[in-house]
Structure 1
Amino acid sequence: MLSCLGVILSLVVMALCIRKFYEYYDLWFKIVRKPQLSYISELSLSPMQCKENFNEITQIVNDNYQEIAHRKKIDLQKLNAEYAEKVSKVENAQQYGQILLEYLASLENMHTYPFFSFHSSNFSLVTRNDSVWVSKDRKNLRKKDLIIAIDGIATADYMKEKLKYTFGSTYQTRKKLAAVGVLSSYADTCKRVTVLRGDSVFEVTIPLYKDEDEQKKPQGVAKDSVKLSSQGMSPKVSLLLAKALKRLDNIGYIRIPHFFSGSVEYFYSQVDSTFKCPYLILNLQNNQGGVRRNVLNIASYLVTEPVTMGDMIIKSDTSRCYRGKLLVLTDEFTSSGGEILAAILKGQPNVTVIGRRTGGDCGSMAFNFKTSHGIEFNLATEIPYLLPDGTTWSEGEGIAPDIQVEERLPWEDKKDAFQIALELIEHNKKH
């Protein structure tokens, strides 16, 4: 009798160990494991395998995305049926790859996308409304060149088509990403571009390169003059600016470009000098996140009052936290962890957020999934929650700034968020 109980107990313990091992393995598989990127041209599924693969993907989406879809008013059943019909007609894996891109983009989430590599050029572009310009001199294109057509399609119409394959949580962010990505493609290896330069219109063929061909891209020479603008600064320029501001005006400046490895250490290295300043500009523009733990570690140094956001509780490190005037810079590319920090800080009594509405995706806790046919994709799974302001949702809305800044092109004589922050500080000093 005792021996039977011992065997049963051993089996129970073994089952629990196996279950725990599976949980850790599943967590590693979904979060830690590095996904395998592939080009659409490399896919080798048969039409039948494409259908099987899509059925598997829609099942994963149904199991994990319902809450987000409901928040975004997306009818998953209808959407899945629509794209299943398209998949049923594919003749090859490349067609399926394009449909899968479109399907996952239609879920309207920045953290939801397939692990497909794409071809790109080395040209920097800027956009406003439905227009796209070259922002830096590169080989056969110059700064201020207006791109009026791509592959014979008017730029505005091309952007609408590109939008179908662009991943983002708000329409405004997706449109912006589609515009600056017109010279990239998941399938094409070149783009025929029609350009307006002054009174001249001409065409040029722009080669697109795979990631491994990066060294072949034409580098050219950027001829932009340095302006007093916070966006797009290199770390070296940001550091020089921070030193100049502190020396001349006793203003602290920290730019956090991401929250991956090294971000917390960099922030800590700036604390001793910048936290002594009565004013601190925190630049979160173009910060698309990283590790949430790093966000919360930095947040504890910046909040003066505790904040609850979703299942996160952010407490102030009262002995070290910054108590001066904090001005936070944001734009439509401030997203994920960058947006979480902006949301945490916005309601603080000493904080003013300056810039444009953020990307509308406060993390979404995405996981990596891999189908039995080897297709890998990222999928957001976190249930949307209210931000500290009590009215804005974590998904699909974005954080409105306290001071809205008009969009500007690099060569326009308009004030950007950084310059407005400086003006606000000067005004505050006088009053």
Structure 2
Amino acid sequence: MKKAIKKILKWFFIVIGVLVISLVGLFVYLKIAYQQKSYPWVYMNELILSESERVSDFEEVCKILKGTNSFVIQRIDFDKLAEKYAKQVENTQSSIEYTNLLAQFFAELQNGHTSVNFYCYKGNYWATIIDNRVFVDGVINKELNPTIIKPKDEIVAINNIPIGEWLDAEKLFAGSSTLEHRLTKLTYHIFTSYTDTVRTFKIRNAEGESEVTIPLYKDLKSDIDTLYVIGKMLNDSVAYLKIITMGGNRIFPQFQQVYPSLSNASHIIIDVRENGGGNSGTSEKIAKYFIAKPQTACVSGQQLEPVVESFKGKVYLLIGNATFSAAENFVIDLKESGNVTVIGEPTGGDTGNRPREFQTSHGIVFRIPTRKKMQISPQGFPMEGVGIEPHHLVRQSAEDYLEGKDTVLEYTLDLLSK
């Protein structure tokens, strides 16, 4: 009897050991296979490639892209596209010409998480497009040339090219999954350049029109507050929570610090209109505070359980074309909970689908989603190629913007007061 028990125990521990080793092996494999390794980027004008190196580099880029078997590659005639650009690469006369061509090639893949990555020279401002007009929206570092251009100045031309024509030309370099997000990405180009260190703008404001030339910096440091989660009470019953990014390990602790002062409000407005994404794990942690019942997370597939201190009032979620990547995961999870009213404009239309960076032997860095099949949310929403629609479509107007009014926020406050 004792021998039989020993034999059973022996096999029991062997099976357990095999299972543990298998699980550890699977964990290590997944970590290696899906880790988002980062490579050092370079400036376009600092990359020197000979004619033969440019040809071989492009061949390597195409080989890597095709080898990913990404859904982004599968859904197009990639061989035809690669052949078209290979002929142009052979005719390039410089590395700058090649890398610009490479940027156009990646833009044609039409995916927001697919790009060739170079450092940019940056101006001290950022811009926004409202009602097909371009405005200076903010200053990055107020100690640098603060009076040259001011927020709400309208940009009517860049380098003597009318702003509409300039934006049309830049579309060649702006890869995106939706037309709406392409427009948003173009705003990032207005004060950045791969090669230029100065840029000339024609500005219009209450004082008239003027032409100014601003420097584009190689190393521009921001003096903007590092608080990425901002909460406040708009009145006795309405809380406002702005989450600027889902990236970094500071976001959830900042949320936890802010949330208690907002949790007892009757209504909460969550603003992710400027949130370009980050980490889906962070978005899922925050989502648990605003759902009413258990549900499946759209990215991880894990069960989301409402936390004990979850918000018990009404939830309103503000979204826009700049809402992107992990921020869209957050929007999908909240919208599919049925517990949230979504207001604003459609999102960028690309949740990520496991993007990963690659590097060629010549130092060109690029990224592409590595999923073979595009993810679909638990309720059947395609998680790339379509912006998430709001329940209430509301756009910021230029008139309100110039008067300092937030069209979308004011609409929301009016809605919840009824």
Shift, 1:364, TM fit: 2.1
8 Å contact kept, 1:41–1:94: yes
Are residue 369 (structure 1) and residue 358 (structure 2) matched?
yes
AA matched with 2:192: S
Residue 281 (1) aligns with residue 269 (2): yes
**Within 5 Å, which residues of 2 pair with 1:65-104?**
66-70=70-74, 74-104=76-106
Match of 2:121 among 110, 119, 122: 119
Aligned residue type for 1:170: T
Verify the 8 A CA contact 1:132 1:180 in the aligned structure 2. Answer: no
Written as runs of structure 1 = structure 2, the 5 A alignment for 1:1-400 is: 23=29, 26-27=32-33, 31=36, 33-64=37-68, 66-70=70-74, 74-135=76-137, 138-197=146-205, 200-210=208-218, 212=219, 214=220, 235=227, 238-239=230-231, 242=232, 244-245=233-234, 248-259=235-246, 260-305=248-293, 306-309=295-298, 312-317=301-306, 319-382=308-371, 383-390=373-380, 392-400=381-389
Q: 1:10 is matched with which residue? A: none
Q: What is the letter of the counterpart of residue 243 of structure 2?
A: I
Q: Which amino acid aligns with 1:250?
A: S
Kindly state the Cα deviation for residue 236 of structure 1 after the two structures are TM-superposed.
9.1
- Residue 197 of structure 1: CA displacement? 4.1
**Structure 2: gaps spanning 5 or more residues:** 1-21, 140-145
Kept in 1: contact 2:230–2:243 (CA 8 A) = no
Cα offset, 1:207, TM superposition:
1.8
- Whole-angstrom CA distance in 1 between matches of 2:100 and 2:67: 23
Give the superposition deviation at 1:99. Answer: 1.0
Q: What's the offset of the Cα at 1:281?
A: 1.5
Contact 1:65-1:380 within 8 A present in 2 as well: no
TM-score (norm 2): 0.83
The CA distance in 1 between the partners of 2:150 and 2:215, in whole Å, is: 16
| Contact map agreement 1:324 1:350 (CA 8 A) in 2 | no
Contact 2:272–2:318 (8 Å) recurs in 1: yes
Percent identity between the aligned chains?
27
1:42: how far off?
0.8
Q: Where does the alignment leave 5 or more consecutive residues of structure 1 unmatched? A: 1-15, 220-231
Are 2:229 and 2:255, in contact at CA under 8 Å, matched by a contact in 1?
no
User: Cα RMSD over matched residues?
Assistant: 2.9
In 2, the alpha carbon distance for the partners of 1:284 and 1:380 equals 23
**SS in structure 2 at match of 1:282:** strand
Query: Would you say how many aligned residue pairs link Structure 1 and Structure 2?
Result: 384
Partners of 1:408 and 1:176 in 2: how far apart?
A: 16
Q: Distance in 2 between matches of 1:47 and 1:25?
A: 38
Question: For 1:341 and 1:21, how far apart are their aligned partners in 2?
Answer: 26
Letter in 1 for 2:56: E
Q: Distance in 1 between matches of 2:137 and 2:260?
A: 36
Are the aligned partners of 1:296 and 1:314 in contact in 2 as well (CA < 8 Å)? no
| AA at the equivalent of 2:384 | E
**1:417 corresponds to:** 408
**Structure 2 Cα separation of the partners of residues 266 and 413 of structure 1:** 27
TM-score by structure 1 length?
Answer: 0.80
Query: What is the rounded CA distance, in whole Å, between the counterparts of 1:193 and 1:271 in structure 2?
Result: 42
Q: 2:289–2:311: 8 Å Cα contact kept in structure 1?
A: yes
What secondary structure sits across from 1:347 in the alignment? helix
Q: Which residue number corresponds to residue 225 of structure 1? A: none
Query: CA separation in 2, counterparts of 1:126 and 1:57?
Result: 33
Distance in 1 separating the partners of 2:211 and 2:409: 37
Q: CA deviation at 1:320?
A: 3.5
